[in-house]
């Protein structure tokens, strides 16, 4: 009987030890799993921040060219999809190239820090004029791009007025003693109600740039709306 009690006591003690070890192991696994999940979440967050930083202009907080390149496939698909829908075919995508007038004079007269302030305040003004679904980009230097994915063409004049109106207080906000104005070149896609691709997008940027410089040549502070004609399209078809 004594041996039986001793054996039973040993088995009970061993069982308790094993249970304790199992609980400790489970806790260790849970701790390591929690650590792994925490580290994984931190890495995921860091990666998301890096991705966001790669497509964001550091000064203004606007998206940059790389962001537009990543979104271009979606944008062009939307344009082409509307072409196949009779109820949507009248809508266009507007590409607006924007340049701050006399920006070099701001830097030369007031310094680059004040120039940066002008860029930031211009970005805020453009944001106030844009819609949530639009793409507003810092294109480089004192140039910005506003892409309106979907709009009826007759409303583009209102966009022009809204943007120029939003700029009215910028000169005062930056304490320059004069207004800050914009020159803009505007073009719409698709051309001639035909399917668009990246080549047409790139040519549209070039044409909008020509419109912008036409405004500059006429005294700045305005917009040029470029309409693509059959003759221009034929010319573009000759290019390599």
- Chain position carrying tokens 């943007």: 163
pLDDT band of 238, cuts 50, 70, 90: very low
pTM: 0.79
How does pLDDT run across 135-193, given as a tens digit for each residue?
999 999 999 999 999 999 999 999 999 999 999 999 999 999 999 999 999 999 999 88
Torsion sign over Cα 77, 81, 83, 89: negative
Is the CB of residue 99 less than 8 Å from the CB of residue 184? yes
For residue 176, say if its preceding peptide bond is cis, omega within 30 degrees of 0. no
In this structure, the number of other CB atoms found within 10 A of the CB of residue 139 comes to 18
Say yes or no to pLDDT of 203 above 90. yes
Residues in the chain: 240
* Average confidence (pLDDT) over 10-39: 78
- Known active-site residue 152: no
Closest CA to 92 of 226, 217, 222: 226
**Which one-letter DSSP state was computed for residue 155?**
G
- Catalytic one among 42, 142, 143, 202? 142
* Strand 222-226 with 182-189, pairing: parallel
From residue 220, how far is each of 30, 72, 181, 184 by CA, in Å? 66, 30, 8, 9
């Amino acid at each position: 009987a004594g041996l039986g009690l001793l054996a039973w006591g040993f088995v009970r003690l061993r069982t308790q030890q094993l249970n304790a070890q199992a609980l400790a192991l489970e806790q260790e696994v849970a701790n390591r799993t929690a650590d792994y999940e925490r580290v994984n979440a931190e890495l995921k967050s860091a990666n998301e921040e890096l991705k966001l930083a790669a497509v964001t202009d550091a000064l203004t907080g606007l998206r940059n060219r790389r962001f537009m390149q990543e979104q271009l496939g979606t944008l062009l698909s939307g344009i082409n999809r509307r072409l196949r829908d009779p109820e949507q075919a009248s809508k266009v995508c507007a590409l607006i190239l924007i340049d701050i007038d006399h920006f070099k004079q701001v830097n030369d007269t007031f310094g680059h820090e004040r120039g940066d302030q002008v860029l930031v305040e211009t970005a805020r003004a453009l944001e106030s004029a844009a819609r949530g679904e639009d793409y507003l980009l810092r294109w480089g230097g004192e140039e910005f791009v506003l892409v309106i994915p979907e709009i009826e063409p007759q409303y583009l004049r209102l966009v022009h007025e809204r943007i120029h109106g939003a700029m009215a207080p910028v000169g005062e906000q930056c304490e320059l003693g004069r207004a800050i104005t914009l020159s803009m070149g505007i073009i719409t896609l698709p051309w001639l109600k035909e399917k668009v691709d990246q080549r047409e997008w790139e040519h549209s940027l070039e044409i909008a740039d020509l419109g912008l410089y036409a405004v500059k040549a006429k005294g700045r502070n305005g917009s040029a709306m470029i309409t693509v004609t059959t003759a221009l399209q034929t010319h573009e078809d000759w290019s390599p």
